[in-house]
Structure 1
Amino acid sequence: MEPLAYRMRPQSLAEIVGQQHLVGQDKIIWRMVKAKMLSSMILYGPPGTGKTSIASAIAGSTKYAFRTLNAATDSKKDLQIVAEEAKMSGTVILLLDEIHRLDKSKQDFLLPHLESGRIILIGATTENPYISINPAIRSRTQIFEVKPLTINEIGIAIDRAMTDPQRGLGQMNLSLDDNARRQLISSTNGDLRSALNGLELAAKSTAPGSDGVIHLTLPVIEESIQKKSISLDKNGDGHYDVISAFQKSIRGSDTDAALHYLGRLIEGGDLPIIARRLMVIAYEDIGLANPPAAARVVTAVQAAEKLGFPEARIPLANAVIELCLSPKSNSAISAIDKAITRIRQGNTGDVPDHLKDAHYQGAEKLGHGIDYLYPHDYPEDWVAQQYLPEPIKDDQYYEPKTNGTYEKAYSDQYRRLLKAQGKA
């Protein structure tokens, strides 16, 4: 019997989980299938994210013959068999896995069939096609990036596999504990194939309980996917306690502690929460003391998301070490929170007339924009005028810190401008 991941492959575009930027209604592959104007394509992205599923669904939606080959292990003769079938049937969709390993002999054989349209090639690769695939193939294909599945998307696929009585495990009397489900979904790093393989192994290797139900618990799932849950440690600390300790260690400039908690989050496979938390820390705790560090964190997060684990740990570690050792400032978050608090108290007043929009007929009659002073018309591109509403015209929210050279410079400028406005 075929593995669960194979049986659960989508038979139409509507069954595909994730990749809605490609297969969702009115998106590019959806339009191609609807118009019956298929063209050869290359799908690239991490393992287990749906490249084969998309190819299978396209074939199922069009009713064309569907064949699968591997560019590294299948021979030129295998390609010839597909080509002969295409001559007889008219069109064959060929999923060619590891297309980046296609050698020149196979490539030269394939090109004329792509040109004629008898073979619609869907190449699958984890490598960047702009770097790893021959230009002759690239020029004859559309290139689409397949993105890692979200936790919610993997959850949908798991639930579908649990209940489907024909292709899934619906005929088995299964019960999947909530914490086991979370572990199965989160620890496979967006790889649906791994999640389904782990689920099937757990289901088929576990004996029913006295109630006749196969209980899939957290320890069972951990054994089946060979990955321990770190949502709880030996002292009972929760997952969110680890996240909290991670941020507080960076805020406190303890590099080793921050790396420890980063390691725990990495072992949990929780890249989205690491990425989000690092960007929050960069702007909340380092902020104006070192703005370039925040920009570098964003770049590191983008690199980590592109790489996926295990390589993602490298840019993440770079970012954490820099944030730990950087000067700190929370002046920006404190300033915006003070401004929001003042707004919520009410009675903030109206926007001054000279600042109101004047780009419409009749604005002048209302007195809007008449007395506005255009700063670029004045020395140093600055002129004193009132910007805040009248009731709060003297409010000050920003309290500069001087921990870093950047914010010290900002502080000096802020104080100088306040003095020029008569506020200091």
Structure 2
Amino acid sequence: MQNLARRMRPRNIDEIIGQEHLVGDGKIIRRMVETGLLSSMILYGPPGIGKTSIASAIAGTANMAFRTFNATTDSKKRLQEIAEEAKFSGQLVLLLDEIHRLDKPKQDFLLPLLENGEIILIGATTENPYFSVVPAVRSRVQIFELKPLTTDDMKKAIKRALNDKENGFDFEVQLDDDALNFLASSTNGDVRSAYNSLELAVLSSDNHHVTLTDMENSLQRKAFTFDKDGDAHYDLLSALQKSIRGSDVNAALHYTARLIEGGDLQSLARRLTVIAYEDIGLANPDAAVHTVTAVTAAERLGFPEARIPLANIVVDLALSPKSNSAYASISEALNDLHSHGNLPIPSHLQDGHYSGAKKLGRAEGYKYPHNFPNHWVDQEYLPEKIKNADYFHSEDQGRYEAALGKRLNDIKEAKKQNKKNKK
């Protein structure tokens, strides 16, 4: 008997969980299927989020034969057999798993089949195909990125398996709410992993009643960090940010470990990105670049490997110089906006490119800074009512912010000198 994950594989495009940007109403893959204008494609994203499911669903909806091929383990002979089948039985959908590992002999055999349209190729990979797939293949396909499934998507998939008496469980299963929440949030958007853990928990539980303890045993994890909507979860994220802000690298790693153990990659990635801009800020702008790179890599890898780039960036952020000057300055600007509303923009800053702008006095008197020494000229930019507002205060934390602070001070001194000269 097939396992639950295989039994629950979507048979048509309407059964796909998530990936609304590709298979939702009016989206590109759905349009391909509905119009019958299928073309070869590569789907890439983390494991277990629906690459094989989309391929089989496309074949099922289009009523076409569906075959699978693994670039690493299957032989060229197997590819030749699939090609013969396509030639005599008509067009078929071929899921080519790990397409980034396809060797040259297999590539050379496959390319003419893509050209003549006998095979609709759907390549699947966890690697970015723009870097990992050879140009000869890449130029003949469309490339689509699959997004990690949300906790709500995971719950939908789990409940579907519980309610599907034909392909899911043909007996009643009672899954406690805390066990459902734990399973949905701890498998990091990997439906295949969730189904495998659910099946093990169901078949090993008493009377098919799955408790939180049963699910912990099935996943071999404790659930102490998995209440994504509870206070404990937000306390962990708060503790992480405050530890990084306080430059305590050991505490930061401790709270990161607890969030990693909980499998909550999305919240962790989001909070680290916030920290990079809010707490490190202009003291070390490269930290923001490093953070985006690290969390992107983590999302591509998925757990457990995602812990490696996450650890790198947590250490980097914790030991980086800190500044919240930009964060404080935009907060002050927003406070003024809320106090004064949308004040009139000075006329010389308004758009002067449309017909009739000159008659309205738009853009008249504007001085183009690049035409002046040091690319700066003294003129008013703020609305009249708040023209003396002073939002940004450099903390001189690190060379970059110190340079910004010096530039700001130079401008202020130049303005003071101009006022003296006018008197």
TM-score normalized by structure 1? 0.87
Q: Measure the CA separation in 1 of the matches of 2:372 and 2:105.
A: 70
The one-letter amino acid paired with 1:57 is: A
Q: Measure the CA separation in 1 of the matches of 2:251 and 2:147.
A: 32
Secondary structure at the aligned position of 1:253 is classed as: coil
- Whether 2:357 is the aligned partner of 1:382: answer no
Q: Measure the CA separation in 1 of the matches of 2:338 and 2:355.
A: 33
- Whether 2:324 is the aligned partner of 1:330: answer yes
Following superposition of structure 1 onto structure 2, how do residues 1-400 of structure 1 map, counting pairs within 5 Å? 1-74=1-74, 78-79=78-79, 81-99=81-99, 113-129=113-129, 141-169=141-169, 172-208=171-207, 214-231=208-225, 238-346=232-340, 349-400=343-394
State whether residues 225 and 258 of structure 2, in contact with CA within 8 Å, keep that contact through their aligned partners in structure 1.
Answer: no
**5+ residue gaps in structure 2?**
none
For residues 327 and 71 of structure 1, do their structure 2 counterparts lie closer, same or farther at Cα, with a shift above 3 Å needed?
Answer: closer
| Superposition deviation, residue 77 in structure 1 | 5.6
For residues 115 and 351 of structure 1, do their structure 2 counterparts lie closer, same or farther at Cα, with a shift above 3 Å needed?
Answer: closer
State whether residues 230 and 239 of structure 1, in contact with CA within 8 Å, keep that contact through their aligned partners in structure 2.
Answer: no
Q: Measure the CA separation in 2 of the matches of 1:290 and 1:108.
A: 48
The one-letter amino acid paired with 1:197 is: N
State whether residues 47 and 302 of structure 2, in contact with CA within 8 Å, keep that contact through their aligned partners in structure 1.
Answer: no
Q: Measure the CA separation in 2 of the matches of 1:292 and 1:111.
A: 42
Q: Measure the CA separation in 1 of the matches of 2:223 and 2:386.
A: 52
Q: Measure the CA separation in 2 of the matches of 1:42 and 1:115.
A: 16
Q: Measure the CA separation in 2 of the matches of 1:415 and 1:132.
A: 48
For residues 411 and 75 of structure 1, do their structure 2 counterparts lie closer, same or farther at Cα, with a shift above 3 Å needed?
Answer: closer
**5+ residue gaps in structure 1?**
209-213
The one-letter amino acid paired with 2:213 is: P
The one-letter amino acid paired with 1:325 is: L
The one-letter amino acid paired with 1:207 is: D
CA-to-aligned-CA distance 1:153-194 (integer Å, 9 cap, x gap): 22221222222232223x543333333222212211221101
Q: Measure the CA separation in 2 of the matches of 1:117 and 1:167.
A: 33
Secondary structure at the aligned position of 1:122 is classed as: strand
The one-letter amino acid paired with 1:150 is: T
State whether residues 348 and 392 of structure 1, in contact with CA within 8 Å, keep that contact through their aligned partners in structure 2.
Answer: no
| Superposition deviation, residue 226 in structure 1 | 2.2
| Superposition deviation, residue 398 in structure 1 | 1.7
State whether residues 186 and 226 of structure 2, in contact with CA within 8 Å, keep that contact through their aligned partners in structure 1.
Answer: no
CA-to-aligned-CA distance 1:230-281 (integer Å, 9 cap, x gap): 3179xx9812111111111110011111111111111111111111111111
CA-to-aligned-CA distance 1:112-154 (integer Å, 9 cap, x gap): 6555544434343445556666666556554444343232322
CA-to-aligned-CA distance 1:185-228 (integer Å, 9 cap, x gap): 221122110111212222232223xxxxx543222212122222
| Superposition deviation, residue 101 in structure 1 | 5.4
Secondary structure at the aligned position of 1:362 is classed as: coil
CA-to-aligned-CA distance 1:357-403 (integer Å, 9 cap, x gap): 22223333333322222222222222222222222221212222122
CA-to-aligned-CA distance 1:50-90 (integer Å, 9 cap, x gap): 12111211111111222334455555665555445434422
State whether residues 348 and 389 of structure 1, in contact with CA within 8 Å, keep that contact through their aligned partners in structure 2.
Answer: no
Query: Which shows bigger deviation, 217-226 or 115-124?
Result: 115-124
Which residue of 2 is the match for residue 211 of structure 1?
Answer: none
The total of aligned residue pairs comes to 416
For residues 322 and 135 of structure 1, do their structure 2 counterparts lie closer, same or farther at Cα, with a shift above 3 Å needed?
Answer: closer
State whether residues 127 and 300 of structure 2, in contact with CA within 8 Å, keep that contact through their aligned partners in structure 1.
Answer: no
For residues 348 and 10 of structure 1, do their structure 2 counterparts lie closer, same or farther at Cα, with a shift above 3 Å needed?
Answer: closer
The Cα RMSD (Å) is 3.0
Which residue of 1 is the match for residue 407 of structure 2?
Answer: 413
CA-to-aligned-CA distance 1:288-345 (integer Å, 9 cap, x gap): 1111222222222222222222222222222111211211111111111111112212
TM-score normalized by structure 2? 0.87
State whether residues 100 and 127 of structure 1, in contact with CA within 8 Å, keep that contact through their aligned partners in structure 2.
Answer: yes
